[in-house]
Structure 1
Amino acid sequence: MEPTGSISPDHLNALYVITHANIVVRLVLAGLGIASIWSWTVIIEKAVRFTGLNSFANRFENEVGSGRSLEDIAAAAGDAPRQALPRMLQAALREWRDARAKGLLSGGNAEAQTAFLIQRIDRVLDSVIARESQKVETGLSLLAIVATASPFIGLFGTVWGIMSSFQSIATEKNTNLAVVAPGIAEALFATAIGLAAAIPAYIAYNKFSGDAAKYTARLEGFADDLVTAIQRRLAERA
């Protein structure tokens, strides 16, 4: 930051502050800018992803509740569905078919084998839910880091800018506004950019953390419904 003999409003606009700030403050501003862009990339990706996940889940749950055969719904989803709900349905039906093909659901030990089958289905579905939960939570840690670290990084730039102003006063031996204003401006600008990066990341982190928890609960509810449907089939065969 180079002190000038006089200042004008143009000297205090954002572009001038960025281009004329000292190297440390410029590095701080650049880092905060990158963090903000990064967090907004995650925010947009998460917004699109959760919208798509919930939209598909609504359609799939409606299909399952329509009375259509679960086998037909599972077959229509393809061999390697990308969404969690059809994978859960296929996994549950696969365990049930394997047990039936091996004759484990009939005979004198049928009751114990049935209980064991339900436990296996529970474990398989829990595994799918755990993997899907990890996927939907990916990127949230970045938002948390940006939300918590950005204000402190901006504060560091603020402190450095104020120190620069004091150095200018000492060098110029003058407390005129023209001497201190540029340093104060870049100091406050660093604070503003830190908050501008932190606030959206903080709001988005809380929003998407709630969305991830709701989606996981939705998968768990669907798993419970599947287990109930399998148990109903087993009861009908008894």
Structure 2
Amino acid sequence: MDPIAKAAAELSPWALFVQADIVVKLVMLLLLAASVWSWAIIVERSRRLRTINGQAKQFEEWFWKAESLDALYDPAAKANHPSAKMFVAGMNEWRRSVARGRIDREGVRGRLASTTQVSIAREVDDLGDRLNILATIGAVAPFVGLFGTVWGIMGAFTSIAASQNTTLAVVAPGIAEALFATAMGLFAAIPAVIGYNRLLHNVGRLEARLSAFAEEFQGLLSRQLDGMEQK
């Protein structure tokens, strides 16, 4: 085999993994698993947020086209997305409040605001549930890779001392195996950090959208409340 081709084969990712020390191998496998896990979270949350945003847009269109809030209640109760859940929670509180003999206007408005905000907070918390995993992977993976690198370099120096040979052909494979662990750490960390920041931004935008819709919903009920009092 051509010497250059042989050297390239010995420094391929698979060859570096196979030739690595058992500790470095475990580090590489851990980082690979972390990378797969982070990508699974990124893809799943991105799809879910895209779906929820589409559902929110469609529900808001239904909301403003509906003949009455009561007519929208039954379809919303069967839906399973944050906008519908917030609407149902608000309507339930509205119905309980106006069913009383004497209506406390400020009390009803306060309870409506509290109910809708609790519903939004619950849904946002659910959407952000796995984002802390991405943050952890992004923060820890480089250090795990660095640990593998330090361990690999220690092993390479031990081998050099035992062989008493410091030529590049002897030194390069061990150093390359060690540095490959650092590369694996960055490979796991960089997408996790980017995914975390992007998903956190999207969750924040969705929360703002739900809060704006909740304000419009409360405003509509507040005007109905004023009309009831004038009668």
Q: TM-score range by the shorter chain?
A: over 0.9
C-alpha RMSD of matched pairs (Å): 1.3
Residue matched to 2:99:
101
Which one-letter code corresponds to 1:72 in the other structure? Answer: A
Q: What letter matches 1:133 in structure 2?
A: V
Q: 1:160, 1:99 → 2: CA distance? A: 66
Shift in CA distance, 104/96, structure 1 to aligned 2, threshold 3 Å: farther
User: Does the residue aligned with 1:103 lie in a helix, a strand or coil?
Assistant: coil
Instruction: Give the secondary-structure state (helix, strand or coil) at the position aligned to 2:218.
Output: helix
Q: CA deviation at 1:73?
A: 1.4
Contact 2:76 2:87 in 1 (8 A): no
Letter in 1 for 2:97: A
How far has the Cα of 1:103 moved from its partner? Answer: 2.0
Which has the larger share of helix?
2
- TM-score normalised according to structure 1 size: 0.90
Q: CA deviation at 1:133?
A: 1.4
Partner residue in 2 for 1:186: 177
User: Aligned residue for 2:106?
Assistant: 115
2:217 is the alignment partner of 1:226: yes
Matched with 1:22 is 21
Output aligned runs, 1:46-61, within 5 Å: 46-61=45-60
Aligned equivalent of 1:211: 202
Give 2:131's aligned residue. Answer: 140
C-alpha distance in structure 2 between counterparts of 1:230 and 1:210, whole Å: 30
How far did residue 90 of structure 1 move?
Answer: 1.8
1:171 lines up with 2:162 in the alignment: yes
Contact 2:152/2:177 (<8 A) preserved: yes
Matched residues, number: 224
State the SS of the aligned residue for 1:121: helix
Mapped pair 1:129 → 2:120: yes
Between the two proteins, what is the percent identity of the paired residues?
A: 40
1:178-229 Cα offsets, whole Å, 9 max, x none, are: 2111111111211111111000000000001111111111111111111101
- Mark the runs of 5 or more structure 2 residues left unpaired by the alignment: 1-5
1:88 alignment counterpart:
86
Equivalent residue of 2:65, what SS? coil
What is the Cα deviation at residue 67 of structure 1?
4.7
Q: One-letter code of the match for 1:124?
A: T
| Cα deviation, residue 86, structure 1 | 1.4
- Under a length normalisation based on structure 2, what TM-score does the superposition of the two structures give? 0.92
1:64 maps to a residue whose letter is F
Offset at residue 70 of structure 1 (A): 1.6
